[in-house]
Amino acid sequence: MADIDVEAVLKKLTASEKVDLLSGIDFWHTKAFPEHGIPSLRLSDGPNGVRGTKFFEGIKAACFPCGTALGATFNQPLLEEAGRKMGDEAKAKGAHVILGPTINMQRSPLGGRGFESLGEDPVLAGLGAAALVRGIQSTGIQATVKHFVCNDLEDKRNAVQAIVTERALREIYALPFQLAVRDAQPGAFMTAYNGVNGTYCSENSKLLDGMLRKEWGWDGMIMSDWYGTYSTTQAANAGLDLEMPGPPKFRGDLLKFNASTAKVAPHVIDERARAMLKFIKKCAASGVPENAPETTVENTPETAELLRRIGVESIVLLKNENDILPLKKDKTTVVIGPNAQIATYHGGGSASLAAYYAVTPYDGISSKLPSPPAYTVGCYSHKMLPLLGSQVTSPTGGPGMTMKVYNEPPTASTRVCTDTIALGKTELHLVDYYNTKLTSPLWYADLEGSFTASFTGTYEFSLVVCGTANLFVNGALVVDNSTVQRQGTAFFNTATVEEKGSIPVVAGQTYNIKVEFASAVTSKLAGDTSTFGGGCLRIGGCKLITPSEEILHASTLAAAADQVIICAGLNADWETEGHDRSSMALPPPMDDLITAVASANPNTVVVLQSGTPVSMPWSPAVRGIIQAWYGGNETGNAIADVLFGDVNPSGKLPLTFPLRVQDNPAYLNFRSEAGRTLYGEDVFIGYRYYEFAEREVLFPFGFGLSYTSFSISDLSISLISDGNKKEIVRVEVSVENTGPREGKEIVQVYVSPPPTTSTESGISRPRKELKGFAKVALEKGEKKTVKVEMEVKYAASYWDEVREMWCAEKGRYEVVVGSSSGDGGALAGAFEVPETFWWLGV
């Protein structure tokens, strides 16, 4: 890809060509102009790995731990290393741009997409995002921070206005983006679906042109979220450079006409085209050719080691009563739970991808023991039945099912197969399935496989479809999802609810399964399915169990063991793009299972996998709890490393775990109502609220235990200049490992403002706010000095809504240094701001 002289090329482009630069040509690519030396760019999801251009049968990739897990590492150098590996993965996929990281705030535990974000604190999210961006862009690949701004819930996300004070917008929701600009200069921003205070983000000139470009001085490219452009003139004038995906809905001929009538001035079109050309120039420097074949990076031991290390550093030890952890490898161990033999390694939506491999917790645990431990499921946790693919054998003898594609329906006397595909996974996003032999959007597919029952009882099947589908077992119709269809929320709200049917099975007998599918145009749902191309299909199935009987069986098994591991939590069905959770509770009857097993055996440890908090009514009854998030390819190995003490846990919670969802400050306002959501908690998000309101929590922000102990002492605070006329608060402490083994501690630096009664403004401010952090590794008995530096203006300021500027008020600011936001033994010092000052920019 050749270098581009931006201004020279801009002068050569016609008005029509300039407009054509400003939208995608398909789901993932921009338009090329070979005659001008302008290549096509390829964009790719996502925040925890690079999928490439394929939803259906995607090329294998490295799956990183989810965003909340990355935030839990509190380790900027590690995230920068992760970013570099993401950049390498993008190159293998022929992608110039990664659509991530996601740095929206986790207002509520119920956010369906909360697992993608780094945490509830803007400084943690901003510094973490900057590290990821630096790593990605060091490879020449460009990063896209998203979603700017206030895309903090999924409920009616395309039709909701975030009603938020300017102060909360600045201090909480825009701040992580501001820090990413300051510390990493991301190549691109993606606008949010929602609006802010009455104007959609993709056409909000105050946000895009005013704040981002003029005030922060950022010189990059702004793209819409997919189908998140809502206007032709307003979006172009506001500063939106690229409408995605293509073909465009609002640009193309519409924008050309509006430009010809001066609704969008020529210089505005030039500004948008210039931003695109500058961005293309940056991408060209990556060396990635246009329209490159999608390949996979060799799955090296080095990549596995990195993913495992990130996974381990993200795991948070929440409880370790009587030092039950680490567990003993020579003790009789029982594993229980629905998350044990399934690798729950990513959340749903844009974060999903086809991983090189995925290690289940059960396999990881088994690798630590002399022989595989006893196991029972205990209860189910699925929202929809587990995918059938891993449970069946294709007609050719391999795992999964065989899919055959036709132009003719099953009733046709003669059918010609146009394609045969081996499927390992029975969740099919057919939005990008292409077959040159298909003659119209209406086409058909038969999927076949079989399984031999390992039990005598009842087996349940299910279908979710965008299109129509029926499931047959041994030729008999078991699930009808074609005659009558009901609207569901799966596949971005384009598909049906899960329709189920069951059959009796006998141990040792083989059953042939066949699904007859017809493409999206056959759907009877009222919604628009056109954006999902060929449609979608999900085939599920599992043994039907009686919960009370299975819990009794699990308790009996647990009672006979020395130690018990319960693998519980959520999965991509519960936490996914497109909708929020309705409750903080684990899927029933999981709480009952944990309570019963803990009663049967006090040596019970619970491993929780979720991207956001869950309620734990059983926490007093269990001795050990670890929060393991969605851990990527190495999920099971990372969990086992921590459980058996091969690695000392060092993660800290990047968000507060409240006792109840009702305690959350956004509880009354976390939904769309009359086209708006009110940010009624203002700046008091997360721990800021719990501390100010003196509300008890289950586990505080920044909390995490270790298998060793640390002491923090010798606090020193000084004001220095960094040589660029920036005044810096330098915080230094001594950290000593006072326990029995090596470990890592995170030094967290919070700042408390001067007392409200003595301030000039008299505004309410949080008791303290995170302003910096650092992670340090220490051998047993080792002591190191740890330094954290913060700009005075960032450490002291609030947003002055009268002057519309940041204000650092004169006074004494207390510095609180500890190992969590709730550290009762934290050290305290102070620095002074001698005179009040105001500022803008970064």
> Is 800 annotated as catalytic?
no
Asked whether the beta carbons of 679 and 804 are under 8 A apart, the reply is no
Find residue 463's DSSP bridge partners.
499, 539
- H or E element at residue 451: strand 444-452
Alpha-carbon span 753 to 815, nearest angstrom: 9
Q: What does the H/E/C string look like for 705-729? A: ECCCCEEEEEEEEEEEECCCCCEEE
The model's pLDDT over 137-189, given as tens digits with 9 standing for 90+, comes to 999 999 999 999 999 999 999 999 999 999 999 999 999 999 999 999 999 99
* Residue tagged active-site, from 152, 225, 446, 580: 225
The CATH number for 800's domain is 2.60.40.10
Residue 95 has pLDDT above 90, yes or no: yes
- 412 domain-assigned: yes
Chain segment 22-33, per-residue pLDDT in tens: 999 999 999 999
Residue 1 has pLDDT above 60, yes or no: no
Residue 476, pLDDT > 80, answer yes
pLDDT of residue 530: 60
Return the structure tokens found at 142. 């460009």
Please tell me the predicted confidence (pLDDT) of residue 723.
72
Residue 527 is part of a domain; what is its CATH number?
2.60.120.260
d(Cα 48, Cα 550) in Å, to the nearest integer?
35
Helix (H, G, I), strand (E, B) or coil at 242: strand
Rg of the chain over CA atoms, in angstroms?
Answer: 27
| Cβ within 8 Å of residue 289, ≥6 positions away | 1, 39, 94
Phi and psi for 346 in degrees, rounded to 5? Answer: -155, 160
pLDDT at residue 824, as a whole number: 84
User: Is the dihedral angle over the CA atoms 325, 328, 334, 337 positive or is it negative?
Assistant: positive
Report pLDDT for 758: 45
Rounded Cα distance, 724 and 163, in Å: 38
Residue where a domain terminates, one of 484, 508, 543: 543
Query: Which pair of structure tokens corresponds to residue 775?
Result: 């992670």
458 DSSP β-pair partners:
504
Q: Quickly count: other Cβ atoms within 10 Å of residue 288's Cβ.
A: 23
- Round to whole Å and give the CA distance between 729 and 726: 10
Give 724-766 pLDDT, tens digit per residue. 778 999 999 999 999 999 999 999 999 999 986 445 667 899 9
**Given pLDDT bands bounded at 50, 70 and 90, which one contains residue 529?**
low
- 824 compared with 329, residue with greater pLDDT: 329
pLDDT at 531 over 80: no
Closest CA to 774 of 754, 788, 757: 788
User: Is there a domain that residue 20 lies in?
Assistant: no
Under 8 Å between Cβ of 105 and 689 = no
CA distances from residue 331 to 326, 368, 563, 603, 644 in whole angstroms, order as listed: 12, 11, 7, 11, 11
pLDDT digits (tens, 9 = 90+) for 779-817: 999 999 999 999 999 999 999 999 999 999 999 999 999
Sheet containing 811-818: order of strands: 769-778, 743-752, 811-818, 827-833
User: What is the Cα–Cα distance from 842 to 182, expressed in whole angstroms?
Assistant: 6
Q: Under 8 Å CB-to-CB from 802, ≥6 apart: which residues?
A: none
Residue 469 has pLDDT above 90, yes or no: yes
Q: Is the pLDDT of residue 510 over 90?
A: yes
Q: How far apart are CA 514 and CA 535, in angstroms?
A: 18
464 in a domain, yes or no?
A: yes
Task: Give the phi and the psi of residue 464 in degrees, each rounded to 5.
Answer: -125, 135
- What count of other Cβ atoms lies within 10 Å of the Cβ of residue 357? 13
Strand partners, 565: 335, 605
**Contact (Cβ atoms closer than 8 angstroms) between residue 457 and residue 544:** yes
Q: Is residue 495 part of a domain?
A: yes
Nearest to 797 by CA among 170, 129, 120, 173: 170
The strand pair at 142-148 and 188-191 is best described as parallel
pLDDT value of position 55:
87
**DSSP codes, 467-515:** SEEEEEETTEEEEEESSS--B-SHHHHTSBPPEEEEEEE-TT-EEEEEE
Mean predicted confidence (pLDDT) in 659-683: 96
Q: Is 269 among the domain residues?
A: no
The residue out of 543, 577, 612 marking a domain boundary is 543
The pair of three-digit structure tokens given for residue 40, joined into one six-digit string:
């096509």
As a whole number of angstroms, the distance between CA 324 and CA 762 comes to 49
Q: What is the model's pLDDT at position 757? A: 42
Q: Which of 1-10, 253-262, 376-385, 470-479 has the lowest mean pLDDT?
A: 1-10
Region 368-397: mean pLDDT is 94
In a domain, 472, yes or no: yes
364 near 405, Cβ under 8 Å?
A: no
| pLDDT confidence tier of residue 717, bands split at 50, 70 and 90 | very high
CB 534 within 8 A of CB 443: yes
- Mean pLDDT of all residues in 378-388: 92
Among residues 247, 251, 105, the alpha carbon closest in space to that of 175 is found at 105
Q: 516, 543, 570 — which closes off a domain? A: 543
**Mapping DSSP to helix (H, G, I), strand (E, B) and coil, where does residue 243 land?**
strand
**Interhelix angle 635-643/301-314, nearest 10 degrees:** 60
Output the average pLDDT for the chain. 95
Is the N-terminal amide bond of 47 cis, ω within 30° of 0? no
Residue 652's closest CA among 539, 436, 535, 818? Answer: 818
Domain limits at 457? 383-543
Query: How many folded domains does the chain comprise?
Result: 2
CB 56 within 8 A of CB 430: yes
190, β-bridge pairs: 223
How far apart are the C-alpha atoms of 164 and 170, rounded to whole Å? Answer: 10
Residue 448 in contact with residue 401, Cβ under 8 Å?
yes
DSSP category for residue 564: E
CB distance 61 to 112 below 8 Å: no
248 vs 202: CA distance, rounded Å:
14
Residue 769, domain member (yes or no): yes
pTM of the predicted protein model? 0.96
Query: By the 8 A CB rule, do 135 and 86 touch?
Result: yes
- Does the residue 277 lie in any domain? no
pLDDT tens digits, one per residue of 277-291: 999 999 999 999 999
